[in-house]
Every structure is written in structure tokens, then in C-alpha cells.
Structure 1
Amino acid sequence: MAGKKPSEDFGRWFGSNLAGIFLQIQDIALKDIEEIRLRIERPLLILGHHRELFIDEQGRTVAAEKGYRVQREDVLQALERMTQSSLYAAEEEMKQGFITLPGGHRVGITGEAIMKQGEVQTLKHISALNIRLAKAVEGKAELILPRLLTKEGTLHHTLILSPPRAGKTTLLRDLIRRLSDGSPALNLPGQTVGVVDERRELAGMWQGVPAYNLGCRTDILDGCPKRMGINMLIRSMAPQVVAVDELGHPEDVEAVLDALRTGVKILSTAHAATMSEALRRPTLKALFEFGVFERVVVLSRRQGPGTVEEIIVLAPTDRVHKEMVRGDAL
């Protein structure tokens, strides 16, 4: 917000107690915060790059037993602000265990699950919030994109694998932007990219306006399940590339296969620390067995989020060749 310090802008999601604490934090810059954990009757915990910090009422880093004890009111006030005082309107997202804030920040939620016919209907008696702060870091794509392009400058079907907090969404955003805008230096013409932003993290849409720059030729379908959104975009916007985050649902397989039949390129991410781990997940294993992906980028946090461990080239014969790259953080 104009005229406000970053800490004041950041504090708008919290009640007065927590907002006051964040105004006083000295030991870690707000821009370096990756997660904030609020657990009722447990100390306030902040996670940054390679470290976790327990924070007291004066915003100081302390031992866990001296940290500020999060109160039920702190959690409820934060949830009220994050849902704009309308928990009912956020129920559909909460059924999945999270809500998404403007800017693409995701808030994980735990509590008592209310079930009906084997399905989660909502959560009540909320016990904890995990605020994961989304960040736009441009320039990451430039280092690996040459390995993901054909000689003609088109994208190989690409999957980005990483464990949580290892930078896969950040890298996906930057790849989308670069593909959309094009790059003469890479012999890459700008391409129409369709983004199905099911979890509202990639674009950070707010009232139809994206918080992140995803390029000048990108169309975004916000909050729509991938199984429906991929086909909707192909029919309505004729993308050359379809980008989605976090493949994993069985219905994603058919949606991706349908997209391939139209000739579009697939760019996606999934949770897995290694290729062998990915092959143990039924949905991903099915996609590999169908020969969907031609390139797999494996990320880690070894040298910070976005460390490229390897780029795997999948040949049509299913022979896997690993092209090792330096383990540098992008």
C-alpha cells in the first residue's frame, strides 16, 4: 500500500497483537520470510532461508519456550481478515485445507474436519495457520530454458519436480513469463500461454488483475480445477502452451492427455524430491507411462530455493538420460 512500510502492509492480515510484533521484528527482513506458523498455544514461528525463528512479544528471536504464545483470538482474527469477514465464502477453498490471499500467498489451515458422505465439507475449531508467502523472482528461467527448447524454439513438454518450499512455483511463473514475452537471444518467439491457476498462487489474481507478471501473451483461468480448465482454455483461447501447477489428481491425467491431442505444449509442476519418488505416485507414473513429458527439472533447497539438481531428458523410447547441471541456486 502506498505510503506504508512493508511491515505495516504485511500486518494487515493479522490482529493487533501479531501486527505489533511484526512491526518490531529485527532479526530477519520481512522480504526473507517464507512461512509464518500460527499454532494455538504454541510459540510464534517464522521460517526463512535455512533457519527458523521463534519470536517474542518484542519481535526478538528467542528460544521456543520464551516465544509469544499464539492465542485462539490471534488465529480467528487473522482468518477473519484473510477471508474479508466471510468464512462462508471461503468454505470451498477451506475444504481443500487452504485459502489463497491476493498476491498468491497460500494459507494452510488445520482444525476439525466436518465430513459428509466421505467428503470434507468444511473445517471448524481452527487450530493452526501456515502462511506461505509467494514471491516473484524474475530471471530464473533464463538459466535453464535453453535446455527445455527444441531447435525450432518450441517448448518440450516439461515437468518441474521439487519438495515443498524448493521454488517450483517461482520457477514456473518465470518460465511462463519468458515463454509469453519471447526472447530473441534464445531464438524464442513469444507464445500464447494458457494458465489454469487452480490454487490461485501462480498469478495472484485479484478482481481480474494478476499480481505477478506472467507475460504479455498469457491468459489466466483463475480458481478452476485443472480437469475442466485445461479444456476450457484450449477451446476458448487457443494457447500454444498450457501451464498448470501441482499435477497429482487422477483426473489430471485425462485432462493432460486431451490437451496433447490438440498439439499444445504442457508445462507443469508436481511434488517429488526425485524422479524415482515421482514414479511412485500413481498419477505421475501414468503420465510418464503415456510418454507425456520430454524434460524433467528437479529442484531442491540444497543451496537455497531453486537449486537445480538435474535436468532429465526423456527419449521417446522411454530411455532416460540424465543431464547433470551444477547444483546452484537459480
Structure 2
Amino acid sequence: MVDEFMKVLSPEIFTRVKSCVNSIQEIRVRCGKKLIGITHNGEKRFDYIVTPYDIDVIVKKISQFSRYAFNDEIKQGFITIKGGHRVGLCGSCVLEKGEIKTLRNISSLNIRRANEIIGSSDKVINEIITNEGINNTIIISPPRCGKTTLLRDIARVLSDKHKMNVCIIDERGEIGACSDGIPQLNVGCRTDVFDRCPKSKGIMLAIRSLSPDVIVCDEIGTEEDMISIIMAVNSGVKIITSIHGFDVTDLYKKKVYSRIIEHKVFKRAIILNNLEKVGDVSSIVDLDNREGDEDV
């Protein structure tokens, strides 16, 4: 069966990658350069030069032949397709009043496969939910280390096994991979998803309308995100989220996170890496024990 990850490819690229598609996590498509696949074992270069036709075919497919309808996603630099796979776009930026209005002359694409790994949270779930209840938890991870996959499985376990009402704020459409508003990936039977909703706005919507026990969201990073998270915690809602970083010091040294540090929002930090395999947990940190640490 051909999945959505393969359906968006041009015929020429499809032919080159189909024999090893199960091992490919990303496909780098750059006009005029060799096709490259990223696998668990590293980079694989194909003996094929990407053409403008390849780019055009893929862009038409991922935008369902209506670029205008997908312009909000295009100007953010990516489109999430059915199945949760994300296609990053690069080209000429069109500016309007200093803001990106759209992208034209798209010349390179990064097609990233969504990975659903049931049970990926088994090694950390007992640090998140304890006899005292849910610990507000932040996952710290470099790119391509499985943080979105882990968040999805945490939501599933809290929803199905622990019978909690979970709300996912899925700003990039990658956690639940909704199609027509319905999650295509397993996020649990008691989970609601705000698809393509800005995190700060979605958190407030969830608090007002859904009475969640837990809110899950990916890659917080704005002042508005921090304010909404604090309001959620003050309302009694637990938070599971993630940031880009390499260790817990990345949480403490960036000014944007100072507000949630000051309010002692998070109790646990889970640090991921991919030194041996994607999703490896390098450490789990009790953030309460860092209070007064001069290094942070």
C-alpha cells in the first residue's frame, strides 16, 4: 500500500526511492542537485538530479492543486499532509509590510515522514504520572529526535490507560495529523484536538470549552505561549510540551522561558537525543532540584 508520504512524490522520484522507502525518514528535494534521503543510518544520495518539474508536481500535490488555499501554511514554510507528514518549503519570500506574505519560485523541499510508535512513552510515563498526580513536563530535544512522536504517545497513554481528558493544541498538524478535523494517528479515545490552532489561543480555547485534565502541545517559544501556559496551570490544568534544545540549560538560558521558570511551571524535563537511535532518552531531570543552581 502506498502511503501519503509517497503519494506526493513526482513519478521520477517515486521510482528512485520506492525500494528503500521504509527506511527513509526524510527526502531532500533540491532543484538541480542530487536527490537525498535521510535514513536511520544516515544520508543516502540517489543518482538522480532533481528537476523543476519534480518540484512543481510535489507542490501541486501537497497544496491539492490550489496554492492560494494553502497560503497560510506556505508563508510559514511548510504544509502538513494527510498522515501527519510535513513538507518544508524554501524559495523566494514575498514581503508585505515587513511580514512574509507568501513563497514563490520554490526551489527545494524537505519531506519529513511522521512516525507513530505505540509504546514510545513507556520508558518515561512513570516520571510524568506518579502517585501524586501528573507532573507538568517539558521535553527538550534537537530536531529529528522524536519529540513529537513521544508527545503523541504520552497523550494516548494518559487518555486511554489513565482515563484523562486530554486536549492537543496541534499548531503544525503533526501530533494528531488531522484530516477534515479528525485525527489520523492514535492520540487516545479521550483526546480532543485543536488542529492548526496557534498554541497560545488554543490553550485558552481548551480551558474555556473542554475542561481538560491535560493539555499537550509542541514547540512552545513565544511570550504569548508562556502566558497561556501559566494561565492553564493556574486553572488546574496540567501541561506536557516541548522545546528545541540539547539539555536543560537551554530552558534556563533563553529569556523567552524566564516567565515559566519564575513561576516554576515544570516539574520534569525529559532530554532526548538520537546518538544511537531516534527517541533515546539521555536524561530525566527533576527541575525542583535545580532551584538555586548557579549554573542555570
- TM normalised by structure 2 equals 0.95
Q: Deviations over 1:113-157 (max 9, x none)?
A: 1111111111101111001100100112121111222314x2100
Q: Which residue of 1 aligns with 2:279?
A: 306
Q: Which residue of 1 aligns with 2:246?
A: 273
**Which residue identity lines up with residue 44 of structure 2 in the other structure?**
L
Q: Which residue of 2 aligns with 1:203?
A: 176
2:56 to 76, 80, 93: 76
Supply the distance in 2 between the matched residues of 1:194 and 1:98 (Cα, whole angstroms).
23
1:212 to 176, 181, 185: 185
Contact 1:247–1:284 (CA under 8 A) maintained in structure 2 = no
Contact 1:179–1:190 (CA under 8 A) maintained in structure 2 = yes
Q: Deviations over 1:70-100 (max 9, x none)?
A: 0111011101001100111111011111111
**Which residue identity lines up with residue 147 of structure 2 in the other structure?**
K
Supply the distance in 1 between the matched residues of 2:277 and 2:94 (Cα, whole angstroms).
38
1:164 and 2:137 equivalent?
no
- Superposition pairs of residues 57-68 of structure 1, within 5 angstroms: 68=48
- Alignment gaps of 5+ in structure 1: 57-67, 183-188, 321-330
2:83 to 90, 103, 126: 103
Q: SS of 2:37's equivalent?
A: strand
Q: Report which of the two structures shows the higher radius of gyration computed on alpha carbons.
A: 1
Q: Deviations over 1:160-201 (max 9, x none)?
A: 01000001001111100000012xxxxxx3100011100000
1:248 and 2:221 equivalent?
yes
1:261 deviates by 1.4
Q: Which residue of 2 aligns with 1:14?
A: 9
**Which residue identity lines up with residue 238 of structure 1 in the other structure?**
S
Q: Which residue of 1 aligns with 2:263?
A: 290
Q: Which residue of 2 aligns with 1:42?
A: 33
Q: Which residue of 2 aligns with 1:63?
A: none
Contact 2:5–2:113 (CA under 8 A) maintained in structure 1 = no
**Which residue identity lines up with residue 19 of structure 1 in the other structure?**
F
1:264 and 2:255 equivalent?
no
Q: Which residue of 2 aligns with 1:325?
A: none
1:19 deviates by 2.1
1:133 to 105, 113, 132: 113
1:175 and 2:171 equivalent?
no
Contact 2:25–2:113 (CA under 8 A) maintained in structure 1 = yes
Q: SS of 1:89's equivalent?
A: helix
C-alpha distance 11-306 of structure 1, shift in aligned 2 (>3 A):
closer
- Alignment gaps of 5+ in structure 2: none
Structure showing greater relative contact order (alpha-carbon pairs closer than 8 Å, 6 or more residues apart) = 2
1:269 deviates by 0.8
Supply the distance in 2 between the matched residues of 1:316 and 1:240 (Cα, whole angstroms).
25
Q: Which residue of 2 aligns with 1:145?
A: 125
Q: SS of 2:182's equivalent?
A: coil
Contact 1:157–1:267 (CA under 8 A) maintained in structure 2 = yes
Q: CA RMSD in A?
A: 1.5
- Superposition pairs of residues 85-104 of structure 1, within 5 angstroms: 85-104=65-84
- Spell out structure 1 runs of 4+ moving beyond 3 A: none
**Which one has a larger percent strand, Structure 1 or Structure 2?**
2
Aligned length: 293
Q: SS of 2:123's equivalent?
A: helix
**Which residue identity lines up with residue 155 of structure 1 in the other structure?**
I
Q: SS of 1:214's equivalent?
A: coil
Supply the distance in 1 between the matched residues of 2:178 and 2:58 (Cα, whole angstroms).
21
1:222 deviates by 0.4
Contact 2:5–2:85 (CA under 8 A) maintained in structure 1 = no
Q: Deviations over 1:191-248 (max 9, x none)?
A: 0001110000000000122111111110111011011111111111100000001101
Contact 2:141–2:244 (CA under 8 A) maintained in structure 1 = yes
Supply the distance in 2 between the matched residues of 1:244 and 1:292 (Cα, whole angstroms).
15
Sequence identity percentage: 37
Contact 1:291–1:318 (CA under 8 A) maintained in structure 2 = no
1:316 deviates by 7.8
1:10 deviates by 4.3
**Which residue identity lines up with residue 124 of structure 1 in the other structure?**
R
